[in-house]
Amino acid sequence: MALAHELLRSGFPYYMTLGQRRVTSNPVDIGFGKENVYVLTKGGLGTEVRVINWEDENLGVLGGTDLFQWPAALLVDSEENLIVSDEAKHTVVTMDKDGNHLETWGVKGDGEGELDRPSGMSFDSEGNIVLSDTMNNRVQRFTRSGEHLQTIGVGDLDSPWGVAVDQLDNVYVVDWKNDRIVKYSRDGDLVMTLGSSGSGKGEFNRPSSVAVDNHGDIYVCDRQNNRVQLFNKEGKYIQSFHGNASLSKSGQTYILANAVTLRLRAMSDVEKTQLLDVPMTIRVDDDFRLFITDFGNHRIQIYKKDAIELSQDQIAPEMRNPILFTT
């Protein structure tokens, strides 16, 4: 599918918040089924997949530390099987939507097809898994059952984390310790790098995740700057998301039932609670919704892009210089 020539970016407003502490505690990734939302959690309040729905109701947990210890990423396939990468056991685990264990593959090592702390994952257009092999400083492509297909990024990367694959099967890798995103073609050729160290626009502080939507827009989870940055398909900075959360439905229900909590919230500054706190992973869907796992706040913040696709004849050609005389 061809990408739009340009976008009229109307805005990217806040959409909703899902989850709360003790339900979606410490979320590290999110995936979607036909009706359910799967939230991968990691930490002292639970290492598991939490199942909720769009009404923010808690439907229970799947998996757990017997299957994965340091889960990093979650994929949900068309049959709603759940695939989890585990950095502690150096494996990729698959279970069905009821939590039944289907398959585990992955062996620790640095040889072809071996893994050392597998982290970020994304499907390619054929349903293969593109996987960050963090401590081996590379990305590998595997079939669903773990057969090695390709190695990408050798010599370029330092402790890669998140990965994304766009419609054209280009691979975007979070080059974590180098504070940048590296884009590779389907064949593994380096196409573009994006970002550098810092806290300004287009700069990153240990980014953790990357996503690409169907417009080719690139989203970077700038973890230690507590924000998500949006770039267009050429890598031009568009805007940042610092957080604008409201109460989730489950959070509102909890607070309304607790008089002291209600009073303390009334005494405090709401603005602080809206911000992102160590966002971990971002995902975008076909409806141009952006999902941010707001790890430190135990919730998912969701935003929805409002943009109109433009053809080449609708918009003036690119200008080399800025101008002050505008209409």
Partner 1 sequence: MGSNDLALKAHLLRRAGFGASRGELEEIAKNGYEEIVEDLIHPERFEDLDEDYIRRYNPELSYHDGFQNHAGRWIWRMINTKRPLEEKMALFWHHVFATAYYKSEHVPTLIAQIETFRNNGLSNIKKVLNDLAKDPAMNYWLDNCENHSDQPNENWGRELLELFSMGVGNYSEDDIKNASRAFTGWTFEQPHPLYPFGHFASSFIFDEDDHDGSEKTFLGKTGNFNGEDIVEIICEQPATAKFICRHLYTFFVEDEPQVHTWSIEEPRNPEAIDEMIKVFMETDGDIRSILRFVFNSDFFKDAWYKKVKNPTELVAGTIKLTGMYDVIPKEGEALGTLYGSASVMGQALMNPPTVEGWHTGSEWIDGGTLNERVNFAVNQFDDVSTPGFKDILSRLGDQVKSDDLVGRCLDLIGPIEVGNETHAALSSYADAVGDLDLSTDQARTENAVKIARMIQLIVSTREYQFA
For residue 287, with 0-12 CB atoms within 10 Å meaning exposed, 13-18 middle and 19 or more buried, which class applies?
exposed
Q: Does 45 bind partner 1 (CB under 8 A)?
A: yes
Helix 249-256 to helix 259-267 angle, to the nearest 10 degrees?
110
User: Which residues have CB under 8 Å from 325's CB, separation 6+?
Assistant: none
If binding is defined by CB under 8 A, does position 302 make contact with partner 1?
Answer: no
* Contact window for partner 1 (CB under 8 A) among 4-12, 140-148, 252-260, 307-315: 252-260
Find the shortest distance in angstroms from Cβ 102 to partner 1: 24
Is residue 298 close enough to count as binding partner 1 by CB under 8 A?
A: yes
- Collect all residues with Cβ–Cβ distance below 8 Å to 295 and sequence separation of at least 6: 26, 27, 28, 277, 278, 279, 280
Could you say whether residue 148 binds partner 1 (CB under 8 A)?
no
Shortest Å distance, C-beta 205 to partner 1: 10
Question: Given the complex with partner 1, which of 25 and 85 has the nearer CB atom?
Answer: 25
Q: Among 255, 166, 244, 238, which residue's Cα sits nearest to residue 202?
A: 238
Q: What is the CA radius of gyration of the chain?
A: 20
Using CB under 8 A as the binding rule, whether residue 203 contacts partner 1 is answered as no
How far is the C-alpha of 223 from the C-alpha of 246, rounded, in Å?
20
Q: Is 300 in contact with 30 (CB distance < 8 Å)?
A: yes
| Site stretch for partner 1 (CB under 8 A), options 123-131, 164-172, 281-289, 295-303 | 295-303
Exactly one of 26, 85, 128, 137 binds partner 1 (CB under 8 A); which one? 26
Residue ranges binding partner 1 (CB under 8 A): 20-22, 25-26, 28, 42-45, 69-70, 87-89, 161, 176-177, 206, 208, 245, 247-248, 250-252, 254-255, 258, 260-261, 264-265, 267-269, 272-273, 277-278, 280, 295-299
